[in-house]
Amino acid sequence: MDIRAVALSLCVAFLWATNTVIQKYALNNSINQKTVIVVGSLTYLICIVFFTIYNYDIIKKDIKKANINFISLIIIGSILGTFVATLIFTSLLHKHNSSLVATITNTAPIFVLLLALLFLNEKITGIQILGIFVTVIGIVIIYQN
């Protein structure tokens, strides 16, 4: 992975962290979890509308040639990975320390690695196994606080 990809990945992590802190701030100030989800989702929807308009030709071609199985998988992944995960995440964020919730929920790379091994036949290196081990140890240390 080149330095630009690493920098952009860190940018994504920072943006997700910023959103988590903003959500927790809203929840701490008597904004209901449901309101946080709806306002965030409506904002996302508005962004998606503009994104779709800008990329309409590409999306139109892909939808026409897409296999219904792939579209179904994307829909299922979006429902589970975005909607259900957001419901659970904001519920946890409302009741628990944001740094702990964020740390544990950001173990997603461990699951990505394992699922990619099972379903995409990607290879796991010793360094990746070591990374998983260190991540789990870090979570245990943070959780003991």
Counting every residue, how long is the chain?
A: 145
| Same-domain check for residues 24 and 63 | yes
| Same-domain check for residues 74 and 114 | no
Question: Which H, E and C letters describe 36-88, residue by residue?
Answer: HHHHHHHHHHHHHHHHHHHCHHHHHHHHHHCCHHHHHHHHHHHHHHHHHHHHH
Decide: pTM greater than 0.75: yes
| Same-domain check for residues 72 and 116 | no
pLDDT, tens digit, 9 for 90 and up, residues 14-24: 898 899 999 99
Token duo for residue 115: 């699922």
| Same-domain check for residues 77 and 18 | yes
| Same-domain check for residues 70 and 126 | no
Domain total of the chain: 2
| Same-domain check for residues 51 and 76 | yes
85-95 and 3-28 are packed helices; what angle lies between their axes, rounded to 10 degrees?
A: 60
User: Would the pLDDT of 145 be above 70?
Assistant: no
User: Would the pLDDT of 8 be above 90?
Assistant: no
Which residues constitute the domain of residue 121?
Answer: 107-145
pLDDT (average), residues 67-86: 90
| Same-domain check for residues 41 and 19 | yes
